[in-house]
């Protein structure tokens, strides 16, 4: 009897390269983990480099509308060296993050037992980066005059609003309450004095509502040092769009490679669907070879489940992934083998 089973519509954008290979495993993990509590109906979207090279379309309006009508999005990876940098990123990935107002980019970093960190003494690494997702230097403001002449001037404008910062700061405090209750704001307020000052004031102000949560501050340059020298000091790292991009890749390296890092682009108001993706790229060098590790994609399915409120189902995936890595993490396996091994444990 399936009457208690909730039904969800999931938009699937496998994208390019290894995205196509790992996304099916995310779907399988989703289904198996949610058996009995949720059912998923998938709508596939053919978006990314191949589509663009074929017919020039990046994110047609009607397809974006159809994506919006889903309850959540599973994304693989987008990008292809044949396409000029920025076209797919700005036209597809960032366009979705911005249009769907996914203002929290949530990126957990955890050093799993069985994974070798490049650090000699990594300690116990388990933090989450709460990266703002709809503002800052990513908003596409800027331009160039006298392009390709000796007098060219190119600008990039970081736009930051109290509205946009406060909502992500609030999210970080709520998250910290469920964790070890510590927030580290990362910015560069000694140079970017306007934006940095605003971030700090809002963190201080919202912090008054969460007296149990402690918070401190680090400049982005210092934070990159601590990620290497003492990463276990972090619980929740709260930062802007660009600094979050940088820190989460460094964090991915520190926990043994971006192959184990998933991310959620979250619209915490649920007005539009949230999007879940591995933080790795399309990896054209190993694409089509059944070599890519699907673990990050599978972990993004767990984040999707958590987002929909199925904490127990998400937990099943986490437990399976942890056991798989601990036992077989150092074994060379194909994409399908890792996927099947994890699935068997769910």
Ligand X SMILES: CC(C)[C@H](C(=O)O)[C@@H](O)C(=O)O
254 scored as a contact of its own copies (CB under 8 A): yes
Which residue shows structure tokens 């955890």? 110
Q: Which of residues 99-128 bind its own copies (CB under 8 A)?
A: 116-121
Does the footprint of ligand X cover residue 221 (CB under 6 A)?
yes
For 339, the token pair is 């996927």
Q: Is 336 an active-site residue?
A: no
Which of 138, 171, 173, 260 is flagged as catalytic? 138
- The H-or-E segment that residue 336 falls in is helix 335-345
Provide the token pair at 225: 């040092």
- Provide the sign of the torsion angle of the four alpha carbons 252, 16, 133, 43, taken in this order: negative
User: Do the annotations mark residue 181 as ligand-binding?
Assistant: no
Catalytic status, residue 80: no
Applying CB under 6 A, which part among 4-12, 86-94, 196-204, 294-302 lies near ligand X?
86-94
Q: At what angle do helices 241-254 and 220-229 cross, to 10 degrees?
A: 10
**Binding piece for its own copies, criterion CB under 8 A, among 41-49, 60-68, 143-151, 317-325:** 143-151
Q: What angle (nearest 5°) sits at the alpha carbon of residue 256, between those of residues 250 and 261?
A: 70
Helix axes 335-345, 295-308, angle to 10 degrees: 40
Q: Is 249 a catalytic residue?
A: yes
Give the residue from 242, 322, 257, 319 showing the smallest Cα distance to 292: 257
Contact letters for its own copies, residues 207-236 (x by CB under 8 A): -------------xxx-xx-xxx-------
Among residues 221, 270, 312, 336, which one is catalytic?
A: 221
- Does 221 qualify as catalytic in the annotation? yes
| Residue 245 binds to ligand X (criterion: CB under 6 A) | yes
Are 267 and 2 in contact by the 8 Å Cβ rule? The answer is no
Question: How far apart, in whole angstroms, are the C-alpha atoms of residue 314 and residue 301?
Answer: 8
- Partner whose footprint covers residue 246, from ligand X, its own copies, none (CB < 5 to 8 Å by kind): its own copies
Is residue 31 close enough to count as binding its own copies by CB under 8 A? no
**Token pair for residue 261?**
């890092």
Q: Which residue is nearest to ligand X (CB)?
A: 89
Residue 32 tokens, joined: 């198996």
Where along the sequence are the contacts to its own copies (CB under 8 A)? 79, 85-86, 89-90, 94, 116-121, 137-138, 142-144, 146-163, 166, 188-198, 201, 220-222, 224-225, 227-229, 242, 245-250, 252-254, 257-258
Residue numbers belonging to the annotated binding site for Mg(2+): 221, 245, 249
Residue numbers belonging to the annotated binding site for NAD(+): 281-293
């Amino acid at each position: 009897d399936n009457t208690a089973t909730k039904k969800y519509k999931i938009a699937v954008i496998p994208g390019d390269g290894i995205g196509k290979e790992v996304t099916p495993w995310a779907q399988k993990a989703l289904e198996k983990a949610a058996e009995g509590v949720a059912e998923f109906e998938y709508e596939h979207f053919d978006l990314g480099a191949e589509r663009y090279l074929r017919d020039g379309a990046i994110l047609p309006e009607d397809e974006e509308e159809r994506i919006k009508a889903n309850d959540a999005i599973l994304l693989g990876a987008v990008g292809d060296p044949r396409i000029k940098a920025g076209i797919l990123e700005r036209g597809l990935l960032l366009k979705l993050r911005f249009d769907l107002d996914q203002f929290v980019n949530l990126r957990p970093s955890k050093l799993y037992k069985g994974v070798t960190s490049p650090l000699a003494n990594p300690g116990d690494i388990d933090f989450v980066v709460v990266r703002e997702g709809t503002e800052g230097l990513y908003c596409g403001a800027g331009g160039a005059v006298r392009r390709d002449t000796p007098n060219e001037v190119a600008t990039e404008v970081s736009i930051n609003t109290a509205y946009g910062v406060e909502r992500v700061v609030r999210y970080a405090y709520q998250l910290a309450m469920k964790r070890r209750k510590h927030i580290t704001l990362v910015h560069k307020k000694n140079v970017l004095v306007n934006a940095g000052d605003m971030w700090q004031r809002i963190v201080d102000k919202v912090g008054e509502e969460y007296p149990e949560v402690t918070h401190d501050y680090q400049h982005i340059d210092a934070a990159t040092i601590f990620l290497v020298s003492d990463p276990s000091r972090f619980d929740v790292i709260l930062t802007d769009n660009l600094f979050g991009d940088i820190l989460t890749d460094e964090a991915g390296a520190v926990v043994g490679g971006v192959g184990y890092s998933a991310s959620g682009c979250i619209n915490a108001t649920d007005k539009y669907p949230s999007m879940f993706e591995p933080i790795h790229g399309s990896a054209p060098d190993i694409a089509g070879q059944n070599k890519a590790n699907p673990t990050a994609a599978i972990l993004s399915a767990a984040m999707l489940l958590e987002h929909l409120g199925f904490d127990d189902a998400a937990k099943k995936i986490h437990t399976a992934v942890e056991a798989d890595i601990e036992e077989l993490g150092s074994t060379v396996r194909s994409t399908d083998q890792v996927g099947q091994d994890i699935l068997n444990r769910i």
